[in-house]
A and B are shown apart, each in its own frame.
Chain A
Amino acid sequence: MSLGLFIEQVFNGLQLGMILFLMAVGVTLTFGVMNLINLAHGSMLMIGAFLIAFAASTVHSFGLAILLAMVMVFALSWFIEKVLVKHLYAKTHLDQVLASFGLSIVLNDGVIMIWGREPLYVNLPSWLEGPVQLTPTFSYPLYRLVITGVAILAGLVLWYLLTKTRLGMQIRAGAEKREMIGALGVNINFLFTAVFAMSAILAALGGVMLGPMISVQSGMGDPLLILSLAVVVIGGIGSLKGALYAALLVGLVDTLGRMVWPSLLGALVGNIVSNAAIYILMALVIAIRPSGLFGRQLQ
């Protein structure tokens, strides 16, 4: 295995990790702050991808298309929170699992109703295409570098929001110790809606960025949803630091694993382990150290 291939896979792994991070932040925050399990999170990523495909084919400027897509996602998530999600906070986990499962089915079929069953393709503007020569022997696709950069930027914006603003402080306090929200005298409705919208936007951003790279179709976000659940468990529910480290870890383990397992275990077993590895890790973490790398003890 060449060094170049290895480095390329490391880059890919980190990039997958950053996308997972965007998903996982939403999951860990909604669970930490609102005690809400939301299986429709993957659908938000899917909607982001569909909206960028739609916007990019409607307006000429790619940048404008992204903006348009994000605004639509924001509006949609605000609507979903006000109409459905806010009734779920007080309900049992079973109810939340089922209601969000129902929502994901609705959204997954909804995009089929609007855009049909054929996968959509997003054309990249020419200025985002092509490889970048990082070293004389190693080049990497520009677009993949850009989305890694965007994800890192999003992470930094999030970090700023959460550490330097009052809203952010309230969110962090709530994520770590939900009982504090009441004590802080916060407008809970606004806080919850904001957290939900934020998590939807992050997921949709992931979808927007993935759109040009993979085929945009119904249910595309669901494998990533489940993977992000694993990330959240490994990192610790309610912990943002945990979400970051676990996401990068999972991204690397998954990507590099797919190179390694087949050569270690043979094609058949190696392929199975490649797919199942993260879930094995997830089960191990729950069994041995349920609070994850950085999480608080769950009641």
Chain B
Amino acid sequence: MTGAHVIKQSEAKNLRLTLTFCAIFILALLVPMLEQVYYTKLIARISVFAIAAVSLDLIVGFSGRVSLGHAAFFGIGVYSAGILAQFGIAQIWLVMPIAFLVAGLIGCFIGAISLRTSGLYFIFITLAFSQMIFFIAQGLRMYGGDDGFRLPAATVWFEGVDLSQAKVLAYTMLGVLLAVTYVAHRIMSSNFGQVIIASRDNSRKVNSLGLQPYPYQLTLFTLSACMCALGGVGFANLNEYVSPASISWVQSGEFLFMVILGSAGTLLGPILGAAAFVTLEQILSAWTEYWMFYLGVILMLRVLFLKTGLLGLISKQGA
């Protein structure tokens, strides 16, 4: 697996990485204060995608399976925000937990079936499930069908403070990103995380030692789905729109792109990857209308010529 998780880097390197990320995070916190809506929204956009990428990395990098269906969970978050708003429910302390739970239920169901497979079949079955959810969303005529619908009401903290305000959105999603990354880090550093990593490396041996990987992988998959949906809630507020496009397999592909761009199996890598992806997206689309073309070229180059992603490159330099 390219960019596979490096065991224990030396204390110094760990510290250096952590400090670098603290610095970047503080910078990210400062940007919205510049009162430039464009850049503030950029921070929000990066955070939203980083949440999805981190959640996907739990499956791709740490569990060793390629999910081509994570856009489904992202979309569940998007549609949860939209449909709840349609019913007059927009408080963030309701919307986020509900999105989290719905994605968890569906994720658990999908995971229960999909995790009985691995390799190519896992790729196909996760794709199949996300397609089903895509068609469900697309078929909901009362919610705009293929076109989707405008977000009826922005998710609200309290009177006068809601996610339609760029600064509030950016800080909220940065906060969610921090929480998600921290939880993911704690989990992967625990006994549970060791079982997941061991199962990725050699599931036969894990059985031979006395544990069955399946319950652990299912738990992590479910959690990953829940986290991804939180990003979706942010996405709905960012675009002020709810549409099936957020559930397309192309979206799933983009999430995978972010994970591998940043270095799979590292948690911080996908955050870098999301930032790089969004930045590239912005720079390229300002320069040419065919920015997807160049993004595709970059993706191919990354796969062909680099053995590791951005975090791996940075770590090596720090070594």
Q: Which residues of A contact B (CB under 8 A)?
A: 31, 37, 39, 84, 87-88, 91-95, 97-99, 101-106, 108-110, 112-113, 222, 226, 229-230, 233, 237, 268, 271-272, 275-276, 279-280, 282-283, 286-287, 290, 298
- CB neighbours of A97 from chain B (8 A): 66, 68, 123, 253, 256
Q: Write out the residue numbers on chain B whose beta carbons fall within 8 Å of the beta carbon of A37.
A: 120, 123
Contacts of B68 in A (CB 8 A): 97
Digit string of B292-317 for contact with A (CB within 8 Å is 1, else 0)?
A: 11011111101110000000000000
Nearest chain B residue, comparing its CB with the CB of A219: B250
The stretch from B20-28, B129-137, B183-191, B206-214 touching chain A is B129-137
B contacts, CB < 8 Å to A: 1-2, 60, 66, 68, 113, 116-117, 119-121, 123-125, 127-129, 131-132, 135-136, 138-141, 249-250, 253, 256-257, 260, 264, 290, 292-293, 295-300, 302-304
5 new A-B pairs (CB below 8 Å) besides A106-B297, A109-B293?
A91-B2, A93-B123, A94-B264, A275-B135, A298-B121
A297 → chain B closest CB, angstroms: 11
In the complex, chain A residues whose CB is within 8 Å of the CB of B264: 94
Task: Report the Cα distance A12→B185, complex, angstroms.
Answer: 53
A290 touches B128 (CB 8 A): no
Given A94-B66, A282-B125, A287 and B113 touching (CB < 8 A)? yes
Bound-state CA distance A210–B303 (Å) is 33
Contact call A286/B117, Cβ cutoff below 8 A: yes
How far apart are the CA atoms of A97 and B119 in the complex, in Å? 12
- A112 to chain B: which residues have CB within 8 Å? 290
The complex places the Cα of A298 from the Cα of B119 at a distance, in Å, of: 9
A282 touches B128 (CB 8 A): yes
- 20 example contacts (A-B, Cβ-Cβ < 8 A) are as follows A88-B303, A95-B2, A95-B260, A97-B253, A98-B303, A101-B257, A102-B295, A106-B297, A106-B300, A110-B293, A112-B290, A222-B250, A226-B127, A268-B139, A272-B139, A275-B135, A279-B131, A283-B132, A286-B125, A287-B113
Of chain B, the residue at the smallest CB distance from A299 is: B119
Q: How far is the CB of A146 from chain B (nearest CB, A)?
A: 31
Q: State the majority secondary structure of interface residues on A.
A: helix
B138 CB contacts on chain A under 8 angstroms: 272, 275
Do the beta carbons of A94 and B300 come within 8 Å of each other? no
Q: Cβ of B299 and Cβ of A102 under 8 Å apart?
A: yes
Are A272 and B136 touching (Cβ within 8 A)?
yes
Q: A87 to chain B: which residues have CB within 8 Å? A: 304
Report A-chain residues with C-beta under 8 Å of the C-beta of B139. Answer: 268, 271-272, 275
Could you say which residues of chain B place their CB within 8 Å of the CB of A91?
Answer: 2, 303
Q: Say whether A283 contacts B128, CB under 8 Å.
A: yes
The answer on a CB contact under 8 Å between A99 and B300 is: yes
Whether the pair B128, A230 counts as a contact (CB closer than 8 A) is yes
Task: Write the nearest CB–CB distance from B251 to chain A, whole angstroms.
Answer: 11
A112-B290, A268-B141 are known contacts. Are A280 and B132 too (CB-CB below 8 A)? yes
Which residues from chain B contact A279 at a C-beta distance below 8 Å? 128-129, 131-132, 135
Q: Are A286 and B66 in contact (CB under 8 A)?
A: no
Expressed in whole angstroms, the Cα–Cα distance for A92 and B66 within the complex equals 10
Interface centre among B113, B123, B303 (most CB of A within 10 A): B303
Interchain CB contact (< 8 A) of A105 among B131, B135, B292: B292
**Which residues in A have their C-beta under 8 angstroms from that of B260?**
94-95, 98
Contact (A229, B127) CB under 8 Å given A94-B60, A94-B260: yes
